[in-house]
Chain A
Amino acid sequence: MSRTEEAPVYNRIAEARAAAGLSRQALAEAVGVHYQTIGYLERGEYSPSLSLALRIAQVLQQDVQALFSIQPFHNN
């Protein structure tokens, strides 16, 4: 399967970030990426590396499986 055919990675970053009271900028700074990258992640236009996914989960104090899935979340 090519990169372009890769199955999308669904996420709940936007909900978890809102629940944590963080702005995109604050989350971006906490995990060491540009704020736009958080925006692209939330829009599902970029799939993070395992390292970045783990850092986001750590900052948002969630299990990585609760934030990312290759199956759509029920509320997606």
Chain B
Amino acid sequence: MSDRKPRRFFWFEGVTRAEVERSLNDTRPSVLRRQAPRRQLVAATALMTAALAFSIFIPQVKVRSYAEIALLAGVLIAFLMLRKSVRLVSDAPDELLDERQIAIRNAAYAVAYRALCTISLPYIALVLLIQPDGALFAHAMPGTWSSVLLSYLMCCASLPAMVLAWRLPDEPAPLTD
């Protein structure tokens, strides 16, 4: 029998039972229930994540610092909105989902893994190019690895929800017959 504690925290998935159940049963209208706005959110997240990595090329220190903070905040907000848009299905454990939700989550993870393998290549290329003997070393600010690293970490964290948000169709009307 599964543990029914409502406050139970799933450490590996990073969610609580209560928040997943609340999200799954949320019948309030939201633009994120439709596919088109969800896809716009995915595109915005991808753009901000890429921009965070490339912010290392902003020459003015002050501008770069502000840009990094703004982009990181934007990426974090987008990440939370993405999770909300897919009702935490991308992060929830099996025991809180039904068979369709488990199937779409697993399919999204398979696509996200393949996408991550491909997306890792430009990140690796970028890191190599900003090394002291790299072609872009002169253009990148020294000691700015953190932006590239944060961008990559956020990309890893967001990809399953991005794939799921992109693929899900418009949600059926909540409780209408």
Are B172 and A40 within 8 A (Cβ)? yes
Q: Is the interface of A mostly helix, strand, loop or mixed?
A: helix
Are A25 and B175 within 8 A (Cβ)? yes
Total interface residues on B, CB under 8 Å, equals 14
Are B100 and A39 within 8 A (Cβ)? no
Name the A residues within 8 Å of B97 (CB-CB).
Answer: 34
Which of A25, A36, A42, A49 gathers most chain B CB within 10 Å? A36
12 contacts between A and B (CB under 8 A): A17-B177, A18-B177, A23-B177, A32-B98, A34-B100, A35-B175, A37-B98, A37-B100, A37-B101, A39-B172, A40-B172, A45-B169
Q: What is the interface of chain B, defined by CB distance below 8 A to chain A?
A: 24, 97-101, 169, 171-177
CA of A48 to CA of B102 in the docked complex: distance in angstroms? 12
CA of A51 to CA of B174 in the docked complex: distance in angstroms? 24
Which of B24, B99, B169 gathers most chain A CB within 10 Å? B99
Interface residues of A in 5-51 (CB under 8 A from B): 17-18, 23-25, 32-40, 42-43, 45-46, 48-49, 51
Are B24 and A34 within 8 A (Cβ)? yes
CA of A32 to CA of B2 in the docked complex: distance in angstroms? 15
